[in-house]
Structure formats: structure tokens, C-alpha cells
Amino acid sequence: MANTSPAIEDYLKTIHAHTEWQPEPITPSVLATRLAVAPSSVTEMVKKLAAQGLVTHQPYGAIRLTDAGLSRALGVVRRHRLVETWLVSDMGYGWDAVHDEAEVLEHAISDRLLEAIDAHLGRPARDPHGDPIPQADGSIVSVPTVLLSEAPAGHAGTVVRISDRDPQLLRRLAACGIRPGVLVTLSGDTLDGPDGTAVELDADGREAIWLTT
Amino acid sequence: MANTSPAIEDYLKTIHAHTEWQPEPITPSVLATRLAVAPSSVTEMVKKLAAQGLVTHQPYGAIRLTDAGLSRALGVVRRHRLVETWLVSDMGYGWDAVHDEAEVLEHAISDRLLEAIDAHLGRPARDPHGDPIPQADGSIVSVPTVLLSEAPAGHAGTVVRISDRDPQLLRRLAACGIRPGVLVTLSGDTLDGPDGTAVELDADGREAIWLTT
DNA sequence: GCTCGGATTTAGGGATACCGAAATACCCGC
DNA sequence: GCGGGTATTTCGGTATCCCTAAATCCGAGC
Ligand SMILES: [Mn+2]
Ligand SMILES: [Mn+2]
Ligand SMILES: [Mn+2]
Ligand SMILES: [Mn+2]
């Protein structure tokens, strides 16, 4: 009854990530794609998670976290984001380089070390990509945002969050000073940053940046 | 052909540890005890390590690291000891509390993070227990030492190393200021430290402290 | 030399977390 | 209402690492 493992933690985190910025529950095939495993592996693991009361799922139905599953998922997200923040703040990592390291360390650090890192960093509320860091009690400080691809033309706002999925994009954005906290304006396909800088974004890029409303 | 895993790393590290301070090669039963696994598990894993050229072993014979195995073992030791040093220097851990955390993290940190930690700490030569930290090239700075249980009565010297296996002992020693670098004198079963402090040591305690000759 | 007890290996399984191929359910368009 | 194609599950299997119980080996002591 180990009850947890890196695999279980990654499943819970990925199920949660899907509903963090959009509301529809995740399907097995999307989950399989995100985790880079075969659909049959998802069926099997989801069955196990359901047996442990971490998700609800009936055959051919959607997958939803239970309260217990959500709380476990938030714990993993917290570890992931605090590790990313630590790597950038203390260890000289660029924000495009932290994800893979955090993906592993999130399963390896103890509660005690997590607490020490959190204290050391001054209990940050957001990670380097602007993702909110769940607090130890599970609460999250959230800010209303618009996804760039859904923002009206000419919309101006502060960058709140940038998806950390594409390191290439993160490097391009860093090069022209676009990061969380910076004021920008959307003009068609290009995003105007400070000091007259601008980046042209493709469809994927416009699905990776969130501004204040 | 993953070629490495936490289990493999722990086997190599444990095989190496046995010869680090004493010369006889380790036997399967001792290895099983140290790793807290059944002897049959050792037989099986050692067979695999031999197939990968990391140890030499014929049935009923001793287990010895090959050059390749030694170099891999030193890599794990380096990660373990740098993590311990980091936990004590930066994260406020006591030296009695770092071992279990390092036991896990040693398998999780990337080469890049290892290098960042090493640089951050100023490339330390010894961990908090006085164990030498293998350098990135595999070299080790070693100091001639005597184990307390083998030291002549009245021997005086500087504490070089204290085994990190018994946290209880580490706490007792810390309480009276005995740690690597401190000058002490052995009188029978008691070790006299600075400022008139003294600790009485049982047989195990006298097998856990090394002094300069 | 032989024997016996401890050390080691062999044999047979279990848990976890994957996979590909084959069966099945579901639902959209007609 | 009926296919038919896609999503999902089922099924049989692999790899890793561990276990207990049952051989088997080995060497110390007689
Ligand atoms: Mn992960
Ligand atoms: Mn992030
Ligand atoms: Mn370990
Ligand atoms: Mn140590």
C-alpha cells in the first residue's frame, strides 16, 4: 500500500493541469498524449486511481479528480513550481531550462525540504512562468486572465502567465523582455512589449500567453 | 537499455562504501544487510551488474567493482555528499538529518544541477561528516586516518570523519562540539574534546570516528 | 577426508508500470 | 435507424526489482 509513486503523481498532476485553465474534464487519449504513454496504460492506471478514490471514472466516461485527488495533485504542483522557482532564483537556471529538472525533483524532495525551500524563497506566490504556487494549505491566489488568442484586437494588459511547455518560445520572449509582470499590447499577430520591442506570434504562441483582463 | 536506475546506483555505492575505509571485498550477505534486501535479490542484481561490466563476480566468489563500476559509484557518492553539504550549508539541516534526504536526491539531480550546486558551494572537498567528495574527474583528496577503535590509548588527533550511519551518535557528538576539524584525545573509552568536554563511546561509537594519525 | 551449518544460488512468484494487437463501445453523419 | 470510424478497453506480454522456500555449495573443525 505504497499509495503513491512518481507515475501516480504525474497522472494526477496532468489530470489537474487540464482543468486549471479550461473547464472540460480530460479524456483518456489526451491524458495518454500528455504523458507520452499508450492509451491502454491510461485505462489501467485510471482504474487504479479510481480504486484509491483519487479520481472518478466509469468506462468510456470522463476522468475527474475527487477532492482527495485534487489535494494530492495540488501538492505535486506546489512541489514542481517551488522547485522551478528555486532553480531560477538560486541556481542560475534560465526559465526555459527548469521544467525537465523539476519534473524529476518534484517526486524526490521531502516535505521538510519543500518547507525549507519555500521559507528560503520567501513563500513566493508564482513561479517563473507566472503559474500560481498552491500554498501548503491548498489555497491558490488567482488572478483573472485572458488567453492571447481570445483577447480582443488592441488589448493591453500585464503578462500574467506564459506556458512553460515550449522552451523555444520562452527563449524568444526572454530575448525581448517579455515575462510575467510586463505591460504589453496586442496588435494583430504581434505583441508589443516595452521599449518598442515586439514579437510576432503564431497560433501556438497566442495560446501560450495570458494577460490581465 | 536504461543502464542505470536508483537500485543499480545504490548497489554500486554500497559495494564501493565497503572498500572505502577497509580493503576486503564485500560479500553478498553483507551487501544484502546494508541494502535491506534479501540475499536472493543480491544474487540476481549482481548478475545483472556483472553482465553490464560494472562488477566482477563468479558464483560463490567476492564482488568487486570494475573500473567502469568504480567510476559510476564515485559519481553517486559525489552526488550524495554534495547534496548533504548543500542541505547543511544552505537549507539549515543538521548533519544528523541529511542522510535520508540525500539518499533519494542523489538519484534525482541532473549533471547540470550537480555542477551548479558544486559551484554554489565553492567546490567543497568534504561533506559535513568529513567524508571526501569525489571531484568531477573522479579524483579524491585523501588524508591518512586511524579508526578510534584501532587508535593507541592516549592518541590525540583531529577528527577527520564521523560515520553518518547513526543519527543518534551524531546528535550526541554535536552536543559536545565534536565534529570534523576538532582536536580530540582518546582516554580509554572516552573521547576528550575542546573546553573539557568528553563523551563516553561504546564499541560502535569507536568504530564510527576517524582521527588524523 | 567428512560433515554440518551458514552463505549463496535457484526456482517460482508478486507488484508496478509499461507496451501492441484485438475486441468493443460510442457517437456522428447520413 | 444504421454504419463506420474513432476512442477506449481488454488481453496477453515485457522489464525491473523485490520476496520466500528450497536446493546447493563451501570451508571450518574434527
Ligand atoms: Mn514528474
Ligand atoms: Mn512553471
Ligand atoms: Mn540512494
Ligand atoms: Mn555523509
Domains of chain A in start order, with CATH, are 6-65 (1.10.10.10), 145-212 (2.30.30.90)
- Return the pLDDT at A2: 65
Query: Taking 60 as the threshold, does the pLDDT of residue A25 lie above it?
Result: yes
**Which of B83, B109, B113, B121 to probe by mutation at the A interface, max A CB count within 10 Å?**
B113
- Which of B45, B59, B38 has the alpha carbon at shortest distance from B15? B45
Report, in ranges, which bases of strand C sit under 7 Å from a protein C-beta. Answer: 7-12, 16-22, 25-27
d(CA A144, CA A126): 14
Per residue in A126-156, pLDDT (tens digit) is 999 999 999 999 999 988 999 998 899 889 9
- Across B20-29, B50-59, B112-121, least confident range: B20-29
Q: Nearest residue of B to residue A103 by CA position?
A: B108
Cβ(B160)–Cβ(B141) under 8 Å? no
Burial bucket for residue B65 (CB in 10 Å: 0-12, 13-18, 19+): buried
Confidence of residue B39 (pLDDT cuts 50, 70, 90): very high
What pLDDT score does B1 carry? 58
CA A121 to ligand 2 center in whole angstroms: 16
Examine the pLDDT at B160 and tell me if it is beyond 60: yes
Contact assessment for residue A213 and residue A157, using Cβ atoms and an 8 Å cutoff: yes
In chain A, pLDDT over 70 holds for what percent of residues? 99
Given a cut of 80, whether residue A62 has pLDDT beyond it is yes
User: Could you tell me which residue, B64 or A195, shows the higher pLDDT?
Assistant: B64
CA distance A121 to chain B (A): 11
Contact A87 B113 (CB under 8 A): yes
Mean pLDDT across the stretch A2-29?
92
- Spatial CA neighbour of B159 closest among B193, B111, B132: B193
Contact call for residues B99 and B166 (beta carbons, < 8 A): no
Residue B207 grid coordinates: 568504530
B113 contact A CB<8A: yes
In which band, very low, low, confident or very high, does the pLDDT at B154 lie, cut at 50, 70 and 90? Answer: confident
Q: How many angstroms separate the CA atoms of A106 and A93, rounded?
A: 16
Q: Could you give the CA distance from residue A26 to residue A13 in angstroms, rounded to a whole number?
A: 12
Number of H helices, E strands in chain B: 8, 8
- pLDDT at B80 exceeding the cut of 70: yes
pLDDT recorded at residue A197: 86
Per CA to C1' distance, which residue is closest to D18? B41
Contact B87 A113 (CB under 8 A): yes
pLDDT for residue B22:
77
Helix (H, G, I), strand (E, B) or coil at A192: strand
Confidence of residue B193 (pLDDT cuts 50, 70, 90): confident
DSSP letters, A130-147, are S-B---TTS------EEE
Residues in chain A: 213
User: What residues form DSSP beta bridges with B55?
Assistant: B65
pLDDT value of position B51: 96
Query: How far is the alpha carbon of A200 from chain B, nearest alpha carbon, in Å?
Result: 32
Cβ atoms of A116 and B91 within 8 Å: the answer is yes
Share of chain B above pLDDT 70, in %: 99
Higher model confidence: residue A79 or residue B195?
A: A79
**Matching residue, cell 479528480:** A65
- pLDDT of amino acid B2: 64
